[in-house]
Amino acid sequence: MKRILLLTLLLTGFLQAKAQKVLIEPYVIGLVEDFKGRQWVKDSPKEAIYIDKFHQTEAKLLQYLDSLVTTYNKKTYDKIQLSLENWEQKNCYYCHEFKLMYSDRLADKVNDAYSFKWEKEVNDANQKVYVGTLKTNAFKTPQEKASFLAGAYTRYGLREADTYTYRFSGTRSKFKAILRELEALRCDILEVKLDDETSPIQQISFTPSEQLRPYLEKQDKLRRDILTKKEAVKREKGNVKEIFDNVQEQ
């Protein structure tokens, strides 16, 4: 009887740990920039597979993403390949501090979660720039929802004791998606602040459900590392808000 009970506990623990594993695709959707919508230049061979830019303070985030890719590729023939390039832009003082990430396989999955439309904008090559909003049904399973929320928390999350917060500036659809998925996972929403004419800040404070909590806790060390390094950059360079699109504050 004791042996059966032990095996049951071990199996339960294994299944819980497996269920709490982060899925790379929704995780990346959670962390990519969504300022005024996700931009996609589908007629550009390069920009069509663009994922996002990463500041040098996010070096460990890039390492973590690489580990997720390695884990994913071990289980499939449809492998993800990531490439990083230096960001070079004329008259851009801080661009050299960023890496641009590209991946055709991952970009397909990320962009598939969005509904895109053209809003009359073109780039320097006169190619149409499409703007995307997250689909309401982008995430089906609790694991997908939690992975999405974990990705957003790593880059845009704050925590004070048991109060967790997402803070954005000018997102088009990610803010609503996060609120929707928090409610779907039965989190306790404490406060919602919407952007208005006086402030562009969008903020959701909440207490995570037991289902979501392990996903967020696993990101805390990485999240704190990014925040600490960003704070160091701010102290060194003064007012550098333009470096970070959504600067977190501890």
- Give the pLDDT score at 194: 86
Joined tokens for residue 102: 């590209």
- Give the pLDDT score at 245: 47
In tens, the pLDDT along 53-97 reads 999 999 999 999 999 999 999 988 889 999 999 998 888 888 999
pLDDT for residue 6 is more than 70: no
CATH number of the domain that 184 lies in? 3.10.28
Percent of the chain with pLDDT over 70: 87
In tens, the pLDDT along 206-241 reads 999 999 999 999 999 999 999 999 999 888 876 555
Cα distances (Å, whole numbers) of residue 45 to 40, 128, 199: 11, 13, 37
Per the domain annotation, does 249 fall within a domain? Answer: no
Where in the sequence is the domain holding 68, given as residue range(s)? 21-243
> What is the SS3 assignment for 200?
coil
Q: What is the count of structural domains for the chain?
A: 1
Contact indicator for 177, 132 with CB cutoff of 8 Å: no
Compute and round to an integer the Cα radius of gyration of the chain: 19
pLDDT band at 246 (very low <50, low <70, confident <90, very high): very low
Per the domain annotation, does 3 fall within a domain? Answer: no
Mean pLDDT value of segment 102-119? 96
Q: What are phi and psi of 246, to 5 degrees?
A: -130, 80
